[in-house]
Structure 1
Amino acid sequence: MRHYAIGDIHGHLDKLQGVHALIEADRAVTGDHAAPVVHLGDFADRGPDVNGVLEYMIAGQTEGRPWINILGNHDRMMWHFLQEEEQSDPLRDDLHWLMLNINIGGRKSLASYGVDVSDDRPVAEIHAEGRAKVPAAHLDFITSLKEYHWADDLYFCHAGVRPNVALDAQVQDDLVWIRKDFHDHHDSFGPLIIHGHTHLDEITHYGNRLNIDTGAAYGGPISVVVIEGRDVWELTENGRRPVTPA
């Protein structure tokens, strides 16, 4: 079965539309217009148009596009901040969504909705204006995001999985936040794990996992791959480029 997968988006609508155009070009070659497209999360934060990205994603769902949308840690942080009573991320209460000294990206997300996120403005005021201006449909979209998608020999998630824990017993904290323990595991997970979360200069295939986050949050591109069985190709303006284990 063929799958397309798109790495971390981070509020870059133009780049997101660009990789969808690459998918449509590949579909025209294969004739397959039903293969699912898995978005690996982090729709929110750091980029200029989170509002536009979420509108685009909701419109695609409404139109019945074959999209599977995965929860990222930045999406989870956005949802928790915008509840009636502001909340920290359940795992990372050391990180405030509006932090000034670390580029979490919450201020850019809210600015895309027209919220005044001035550095000297009280957080309570920003929170109140954010709740007034971010549509409920956008928070409902985040609520609807899947923790993972498992299809035969492929397992898609945002950050990775906890080694030596069954794939159907993974917890959300790991699926959206894990790094070191996952990255340091070199044995097979069974299915190939397709993930983002930790940005690299290029798509990298480790044999047991495939990282397709190429740093859109930091000026890099959004990357897209097509997977058939366990064979992987990056989609480019010049067609498919094979991605093989390093």
Structure 2
Amino acid sequence: MKTVDFKNARGPDKLRVYAIGDVHGRLDLLQEMHRLIQLQNQKSPPFDWVVVHLGDYVDRGLQSRGVIDFLIDGQRKNHRILALAGNHDVGFLDFLNTGDTYGLFARYGGRQTALSYGVNIDFNNDLSIASGREALKEAVPTAHWDFVRRLPRSMIFGDFFFCHAGIRPGVELDHQNPEDLIWIRSEFLDDMRRYSKVIVHGHTPATEVEIRPNRVNLDTGAYASGRLSAIMIDGPNKSFLEATV
């Protein structure tokens, strides 16, 4: 199998690719990142461009509803706005469908997501969880259900494979388990092998963008750090953007 490393990896010809890390309800940072991308495109206009969002739009931050509205509106206006599924986005739907009191949504920031839809859920109270789930199902617009349901798990552009969490080492990219693509951590993060594509991912917060020969981690913990990170890939050239407010 032919492998590639970050230094030598190239984006597609005549297409500038941006990828943005985990947002987690920070609409302010997402809006600022899109402003920075627009400025970059005005400063040095590309032949064409796309923006790939790497998932985890909800939970923890206070504006999950606003983030999804922003992405839906962006996709409606421009086919270049792309979005992948994160485990928190899938966990949001799982809670709406099952009401799991021990799932990701209930344990890690779902209360903030519910509040963004005007629903207050006490996840330490079974009655509040049950009634809150029903209220949240009513409050979430159909467009939001459809948006999250339809999120793909991965995309490829040039020498780069984009997903939320990472890949299962030793498995061909077109045979990856969809659950690994949104959940995997140590088996992937600790693997030093080069793959057929450089993996661009988020999911595991780091204090800075992590650049390895085989992967790039763009999750800089935006909801807590106030720093949202992105990569710009333009042919052989790679650079990074950071949004702060």
TM-score range, shorter chain: 0.7 to 0.9
TM-score by length of 1: 0.87
Q: Could you tell me whether the CA contact under 8 Å between 2:160 and 2:198 is conserved in 1?
A: yes
How far 1:171 moved relative to its partner? 1.1
- Determine helix, strand or coil for the equivalent of 2:208: coil
Post-superposition CA distance 1:152-184 (Å, at most 9, x none): 211000000000000000111100000000011
Query: Which of residues 187, 190, 194 is equivalent to 1:184?
Result: 190
- Structure 2: 5+ residue runs without aligned partners? 1-11
How far 1:224 moved relative to its partner? 1.4
Post-superposition CA distance 1:199-222 (Å, at most 9, x none): 111111111100010001323311
Name the CA distance, whole Å, in 2 between partners of 1:62 and 1:129: 27
Count matched residues.
Answer: 227
- Which residue does 1:19 correspond to in 2? 33
Q: Kindly tell me: are residues 236 and 49 of structure 1, through their superposed partners in 2, closer, same or farther at Cα, counting changes over 3 Å?
A: closer
Name the CA distance, whole Å, in 2 between partners of 1:3 and 1:202: 20
* Equivalent runs, 1:21-40 vs 2, <5 Å: 21-32=35-46, 34-40=48-54
How far 1:67 moved relative to its partner? 1.4
Aligned residue type for 1:234? F
Q: Could you tell me whether the CA contact under 8 Å between 2:88 and 2:104 is conserved in 1?
A: no
- Which residue does 2:156 correspond to in 1? 150
Name the CA distance, whole Å, in 2 between partners of 1:225 and 1:23: 10
Q: Could you tell me whether the CA contact under 8 Å between 2:233 and 2:239 is conserved in 1?
A: yes
Name the CA distance, whole Å, in 2 between partners of 1:193 and 1:107: 31
TM-score by length of 2: 0.88
Bigger proportion of residues as helix: 2
- Determine helix, strand or coil for the equivalent of 2:30: helix
How far 1:96 moved relative to its partner? 4.6
Task: Check if 1:124 corresponds to 2:137.
Answer: no
After superposition, the CA RMSD in angstroms is 1.7
Q: Could you tell me whether the CA contact under 8 Å between 1:154 and 1:230 is conserved in 2?
A: no
Query: Which of residues 14, 24, 43 is equivalent to 1:10?
Result: 24
How far 1:144 moved relative to its partner? 1.4
- Which residue does 1:241 correspond to in 2? none
Aligned residue type for 1:166? E
Q: Could you tell me whether the CA contact under 8 Å between 1:153 and 1:229 is conserved in 2?
A: no
Task: Check if 1:82 corresponds to 2:90.
Answer: no
Name the CA distance, whole Å, in 2 between partners of 1:194 and 1:22: 20
